[in-house]
Each structure stands twice: as structure tokens, then as C-alpha cells.
């Protein structure tokens, strides 16, 4: 028996959206002068292609995830210069990490078709290793890098979970609405632009409206596997209505919000505050993600790649309810990844993904007050990060 009178116990956390193959790049400042496309160029340049180096970065990312109390991830298995790869998915499957590995692909203009075909091949190779706690999925990168036909083909595969970046940047908004801007210039420099792309963009749509039209089909309503829209920084009133309508029509739609990532890129300066609260109130479930280590800051080496930091950020910035934040970082994330949410709750029976503890300086009347006090204290001398007492994926992380 372990006696921990000064600890608050919590279920292990879920990181619904992350890029663990970029862990080797480490935290980096955002160059506002170069903008979002400039940042993308840095990622392209820094991303590794050699399988052994990808594995090294992934393993470090998994170590930092466990350090931050994360027992399940929705990891984007990045597509290096050589094309879609299953290497990152193999690492997650071998390591025993719960969640989904989404195999990323690009496909627009002259590059349409090749990316999805190769991603499906990679997905098929690793899908045989699926278990009740880990599966592979597909990730069409974003609305400004994957053509409409490629999205349609990908979404028609109802057995493969899908995660895709949507409404993340001003450049994406301009590209989808007008067919112009820095994103088009990048595609031209990469040699993949062709005017046929304009058959689906340049019509004044928002990125969410663009993807909503692709999702609003009978085939998508019949999907078994979830569709996760990542970021949604740019969301109008009409876009909220579109998302709510898709969800109420039966499409298994989820949102992954990465608060520190949005702040890193200054999304609120362009689009206003993120509308995660309104999404939740309209029946659109919102899970928390971290995005990559690049946007998390130097403390990520000490505190881990963890949605605990997202909970702290929203609690301190918005005063968001502590219990709601824990729900977004556990059961909502689990459902978004197709996992059993009971693995991330304290129930009477059945297995659990993990048990975390944080030091609490009380006394408090309820666990909710304790959690709120801990989240409020992070960043001060009283702040602390969660530690595993029990990790269902690995051996115990802390001595008890």
C-alpha cells in the first residue's frame, strides 16, 4: 500500500494531435517576418528522411510524452522528402504507445494521386499490427496541400481514421478563398502547381466551408472511423453552424485544438479568440493536442510533450473549468482517437491506461478545487507537473 496524502491522483492523459517525428528539431522561435509558409519551409528542411534518424526522433518524443503523463497520442507520421512513410507508426506500435498513428500525405496539382496511393500502401503494411489500444490512420496534410479529389478518395475509406489540418493560418484562408498568396507561390516553387487546382478553390470559401462540403456526403455519414479536424483557428459563425450540422448528421467528427500552438503562431491576432467553448456547447467535441515540440518552448524538455501544458494554458488564460479541461485531455481525446474512454477514467472495474499524481498544497474540499489550484500554480514556485504512478504502456515511471 502506498500512502500519498499530499497528492492529487488523475487518469493518464491523451495528446490528440502531435508530431513526434519533429522532436529532434527542438523548440524554436516563430519568425513572424517569414510567416507561416516560412515556418513550413523550415520544417521541410529540418524533417528527417533516414529511417534510423526518424526512429531516434520518435523515441525521444515518446519519452517526453511519458514524462508529461501522456499514455496515448494521435501522432502525425510525417511524410519526408521521400514520400509517405510508416516508420513512425512502427515505432509507436513497437513501443506500446496507445492511440493512432496517422500516416501523412500531400497531393495537389501535379502531385495529386501519388501521395494518397503511397500512404494507403504504408497504412496497409502497419494496419495488421492494430490492437485494441493502437491503430494506424491516414492524414491528408491540409486543405491547402491536398486537392479536393484526394480528400474525397481518402474519406470514402470508412475503415481508416482521418486527421487533417484545417483553418490554421491566414495563408490557408487566402489560398482557399482566392487561389493566390504565399501558399500558391510555395506550390509553384515546388513545381507541383497546375491551374486545374482552381477547379475546387478560389471560390470565396473558408477552409472550414471547403472541407465541410467534402464531408457532407452519405458516404461520410456511413463512416465507422472518426474524422479529426485539427486546429480550426479560423472559424466564423457560419462555420460553427456547418460543423454542428455535420456532427448532428451522424458524421463521426472531432476537433483537436492545440492552444499553445495557436498562441505560438499568433492566431488570435488574426482570427480572434479560439471558439473551442462554443464548439463544445454546440455538440462538437474538442480534444486537446500539443502540435510539435517546436512550438512548446524550452520547458518541454523538463515537463514533457504533454496536454498538461495545454490545460495550464487554458486555465490561466481563459479561466476554463479544471474538470472540463481534464475531460478534454482524457476521455474526449480517447474518443477522438477511437480508444475506449474508460481507459482514461477512474472506474470500479477494468484496466486503466495509467495513474498520475501531482503534489497539492491544501486542504481543499473537492478534487475539482485541488486540480484548479494545481493548474493555477504552474509557472510559480508552487507549480509541478504530473508523474506516473502507474503506466499501462510501460513500467512505472516513478518510485513509490
pLDDT digits (tens, 9 = 90+) for 10-59: 999 999 999 999 999 999 999 999 999 999 999 999 999 899 999 999 99
Phi first, then psi: give them for residue 239, nearest 5 degrees: -65, -40
The pLDDT-based confidence of 67 (bands split at 50, 70, 90) is very high
Res 398: pLDDT: 41
Cis ω for the linkage preceding 380 (within 30 of 0): no
The mean pLDDT of the chain is 91
Model pLDDT for residues 234-245, shown as the tens digit of each residue? 999 999 999 999
Instruction: Show Cβ contacts of residue 271 under 8 Å, excluding neighbours closer than 6 positions.
Output: 233, 234, 235
Res 399: pLDDT: 37
Helices (H), 100-147: 114-127
Helix (H, G, I), strand (E, B) or coil at 222: coil
Model pLDDT for residues 75-99, shown as the tens digit of each residue? 999 988 778 889 999 999 888 899 9
Res 396: pLDDT: 45
CB-count exposure of residue 298 (10 Å: 0-12, 13-18, 19+): exposed
Please tell me the pTM assigned to this model.
0.95
pLDDT at 2 over 70: no
Average pLDDT over every residue of 284-294: 98
CA proximity to 89, closest of 50, 54, 113, 132: 54
Average pLDDT over every residue of 93-114: 89
DSSP for residue 333: H
CB-count exposure of residue 242 (10 Å: 0-12, 13-18, 19+): buried
Q: Which residue has the higher pLDDT, 211 or 156?
A: 211
CA proximity to 183, closest of 35, 31, 32: 35
Report the C-alpha gap between 339 and 132 in whole angstroms.
Answer: 7
Amino acid at each position: 500500500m502506498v500512502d500519498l496524502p499530499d497528492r492529487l491522483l488523475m487518469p493518464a492523459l491523451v495528446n490528440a494531435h502531435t508530431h513526434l517525428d519533429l522532436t529532434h528539431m527542438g523548440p524554436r522561435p516563430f519568425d513572424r517576418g517569414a510567416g507561416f509558409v516560412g515556418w513550413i519551409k523550415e520544417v521541410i528542411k529540418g524533417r528527417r528522411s533516414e529511417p534510423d534518424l526518424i526512429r531516434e526522433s520518435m523515441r525521444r518524443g515518446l519519452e517526453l510524452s511519458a514524462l508529461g503523463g501522456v499514455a496515448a497520442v494521435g501522432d502525425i507520421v510525417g511524410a519526408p522528402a521521400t514520400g509517405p512513410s510508416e516508420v513512425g507508426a512502427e515505432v509507436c506500435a513497437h513501443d506500446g504507445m496507445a492511440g493512432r498513428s496517422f500516416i501523412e500525405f500531400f497531393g495537389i496539382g501535379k502531385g495529386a494521386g501519388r501521395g494518397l496511393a503511397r500512404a494507403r500502401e504504408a497504412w496497409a503494411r502497419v494496419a495488421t499490427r492494430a490492437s485494441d489500444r493502437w491503430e494506424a490512420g491516414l492524414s491528408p496534410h491540409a486543405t491547402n496541400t491536398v486537392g479536393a479529389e484526394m480528400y474525397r478518395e481518402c474519406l470514402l475509406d470508412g475503415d481508416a481514421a482521418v486527421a487533417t489540418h484545417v483553418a490554421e493560418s491566414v495563408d490557408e484562408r487566402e489560398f482557399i478563398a482566392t487561389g493566390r498568396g504565399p501558399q500558391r507561390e510555395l506550390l509553384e516553387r515546388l513545381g507541383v502547381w497546375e491551374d486545374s487546382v482552381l477547379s475546387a478553390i478560389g471560390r470565396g470559401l473558408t477552409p472550414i466551408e471547403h472541407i465541410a462540403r467534402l464531408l457532407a456526403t452519405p458516404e461520410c455519414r456511413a463512416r465507422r472511423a472518426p474524422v479529426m479536424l485539427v486546429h480550426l483557428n479560423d472559424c466564423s459563425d457560419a462555420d460553427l453552424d456547418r460543423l454542428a450540422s455535420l456532427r448532428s448528421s451522424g458524421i463521426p467528427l472531432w476537433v483537436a485544438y492545440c492552444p499553445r500552438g495557436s498562441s505560438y503562431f499568433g492566431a488570435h491576432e488574426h482570427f480572434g479568440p479560439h471558439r473551442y467553448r462554443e464548439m463544445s456547447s454546440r455538440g462538437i467535441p474538442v480534444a486537446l493536442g500539443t502540435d510539435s515540440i517546436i512550438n512548446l518552448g524550452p520547458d518541454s524538455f523538463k515537463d514533457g510533450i504533454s496536454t498538461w501544458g495545454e490545460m495550464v494554458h487554458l486555465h490561466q488564460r481563459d479561466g476554463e473549468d479544471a474538470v472540463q479541461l481534464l475531460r478534454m485531455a482524457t476521455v474526449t481525446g480517447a474518443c477522438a482517437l477511437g480508444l475506449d474512454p474508460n481507459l482514461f477514467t477512474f472506474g470500479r472495474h477494468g484496466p486503466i491506461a495509467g495513474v498520475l499524481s501531482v503534489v497539492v498544497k491544501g486542504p481543499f474540499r473537492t478534487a475539482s478545487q485541488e486540480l484548479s489550484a494545481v493548474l493555477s500554480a504552474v509557472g510559480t514556485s508552487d507549480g509541478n507537473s504530473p508523474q506516473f504512478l502507474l503506466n499501462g504502456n510501460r513500467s512505472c515511471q516513478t518510485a513509490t
